Chains A and B, each alone.
Chain A
Amino acid sequence: MPAVNTRRLAADAGLLVIAAAFVLPLAWVILSSVDPKADLTVKVPDGVTLDNFDAVLTPEITFTPLLNSLLLCGGGTALTVVCAALAAYPLSRFRSRLNRPFLLTILFATSLPITAIMVPVYALFVQVNLIDTVQGTIFFFAASQLPFAIWLMKNFMDGVPKELEEAAWTDGASSLQSLLRVVLPLMGPGVAVVTVFSFVMMWGNFFVPFMLLLTPEQMPAAVSINEFFGNRGTVVYGQLAAFSVIYSTPVILLYVGVARRLGGGFALGGAVKG
């Protein structure tokens, strides 16, 4: 039908116009990263070079901050996922009068503006000597991500039929054993989603490490890139772009890896669906 075709063309055209506006800043970073004479405007480089990448691939600029990021976000994610899986189990498996209040509190905490509590967290961390420590930052990362992770994990766990577990129980498995051997393997993709989501959120988070870490050697890439930009006088835009590309690639790849599982409703983690 021609009417359908016209409509499709109109929709395509509209989308492409919007996408063009969205793509310009992205094109800038990609083109500039290989442009020997990069500046602030998006343009096709005269020649392609990898010099910008060469220049930033040093321990001081790239490797140490990325390693720090990996340590912080890896630690935070591990703690989040373990605690969330344990917490989700009784919430999903056993009926209790406490479940509903607990879940409502969790859901409430999910949407609190964490930015607002960074000043008191800083003050508190100074008092208990956790300021400028990697473990303190990991604890806070985990706590801030936990409400959403528990919620998400519980929803995935609800999808695993209880009968399978009962069979394990009859065979003499404890709750912990059936969680580890039966439930978690069956909800592998769900665990992957929680893990990747937590990691991506922490990897991109700037404010938390910016507030809680002070020593430059401990800074993750989220903060060091800011120093890179602000404190070196003339900014070498090509190198900045190259670093941005290196720093962003892992999370984009991880996201793509689980994107299909996430689907449209992922963003709400089932919150909309309850």
Chain B
Amino acid sequence: MTGPAGTRATATAPKPAAAKAAPGPPHPTVRALTRALPLTPATVLLLLFLAGPIAYCAYIAFTDLQLTGQAEDSFIGFENFRTAFGDEAFLNAVWLTLVFTVVSALLGQNTLGLALAALMRRASKPVRTLVGGIVVTAWVLPEVVAGFLLYAFFRREGTLNAVLDWLHLPTQNWLYTLPILAVSFANVWRGTAFSMLVYSAALNEIPKEITEAAEMDGAGGWRRMWHITLPMIRRSIGTNLMLITLQTLSVFGLIWVMTRGGPGGKSQTLPLFMYEEAFQKSMIGYGTAVALLLLVVGSLFSVIYLRLLRTEV
């Protein structure tokens, strides 16, 4: 069970006292520390570049730090947060973030992902492979490329309008009239593969006997879905909802490429609002306050996610 004591002692204990102890088994604390040694690089990186910025975030959110013009930033307490909740642009961004998350993640990716996974179980193998490949490709594509593809798709002279025209349906300039819906659909296009993979794995774990028994009892497809499948995969549903919500909360590049948050802030979700305040208006303190709110919301979801997994860690 234990490694050679000599190497450990030389690795951790240059002090003479410890060197003397080398022949016997090392002190439990020394041993624990040596064993924890490989954790150091990762821990240092995480502390410096992840925990550090988060702590710094929590600090500058309470200051009036600006990019230019000001020599010293000063502590202003909750002023940034008060400003935010009285700022129409901020409230607009909160609302749009909510719409974006509900439409694209909860309704779009989640439902479509489940539908795809369920249909795939019945489909023939070539169709399954083809469809899976297409959906996953959309997911693997770099964010910016996905943004362009959907920009082209939704533009006035783009593919969507060409299809609608061909079907004799009314067309419009989607990125101008309904930008938040356009970016939401873009996020569905890009993110559905994740839910599809999660649900495919979950559905595969349902014992066949249970569905077969229900089928014998005469339960139709919808009833089986509602009364058997969904309750059996409810943990996966919870985890999936949590993870796609978190992913959707932090989408930046996709919206940035498609609309830059415009026109007139009509697709400006919180990450884009944060960016604009911090950099285009140079209000780093204010932008960070928004970031902190986003982080707090994310942490809450993250905690719920941990509770969902609690029994398994």
Contact = CB atoms under 8 A, between A and B. Distances in A.
Contact of A108 (B49, B115, B250, B302): B302
Nearest to A125: B53
Contact of A115 (B54, B122, B252, B279): B252
B52 A123 contact: no
Contact of A264 (B4, B35, B40, B198): B198
Contacts of B189: 22, 25
A175 B257 CA distance: 48
Contact of A244 (B40, B124, B145): B145
- Which of A22, A144, A179 counts the most chain B CB atoms within 10 A? A22
Interface string A98-111: 10101110011101
B246 A222 contact: no
A172 B5 CA distance: 10
A49 interface: no
Contacts of B38: 86-87, 89-90, 175-176, 179
A8 B123 contact: yes
A56 to B, nearest CB: 14
B106 interface: no
A140 B288 contact: no
B241 interface: no
Contact of B153 (A25, A240, A248): A25
A205 B157 CA distance: 28
- Which of A104, A114, A118 counts the most chain B CB atoms within 10 A? A118
Interface in B213-258: 235-236, 239, 242-243, 246, 249-253, 256-257
Contacts of A25: 138, 149-150, 152-153, 159, 189
A8 B198 CA distance: 22
Contacts of A271: 239, 309
A47 interface: no
Interface residues of B, number: 106
Interface in A227-274: 229, 237, 240, 244, 247-248, 251-252, 255, 259, 263-268, 271-274
A91 B39 CA distance: 8
Interface string A189-214: 00000000000100111110010000
Contacts of A174: 3-4, 7
Nearest to A251: B140
Nearest to A29: B149
B120 interface: yes
28 contacts: A7-B122, A15-B116, A22-B131, A22-B189, A40-B155, A79-B45, A87-B43, A90-B35, A90-B39, A117-B50, A120-B54, A120-B56, A120-B60, A122-B278, A123-B65, A144-B50, A147-B46, A173-B3, A174-B3, A174-B4, A175-B3, A179-B38, A205-B253, A266-B197, A268-B198, A272-B201, A274-B312, A274-B313
Interface of B: 1-4, 7, 32, 35-43, 45-46, 48-50, 52-54, 56-57, 60, 65, 112, 115-116, 119-124, 127-128, 130-131, 134-138, 140-145, 148-150, 152-153, 155, 157-159, 162-163, 189, 194, 197-198, 200-202, 204, 235-236, 239, 242-243, 246, 249-253, 256-257, 271, 274-275, 278-279, 284, 287-288, 291-292, 294-295, 298-299, 301-303, 305-306, 309, 311-313
Given A22-B189, A116-B294, 20 more contacts: A11-B122, A15-B120, A15-B131, A19-B131, A22-B131, A24-B159, A28-B159, A29-B145, A104-B306, A108-B302, A116-B292, A117-B291, A121-B49, A206-B142, A223-B144, A247-B142, A252-B140, A255-B136, A267-B198, A268-B239
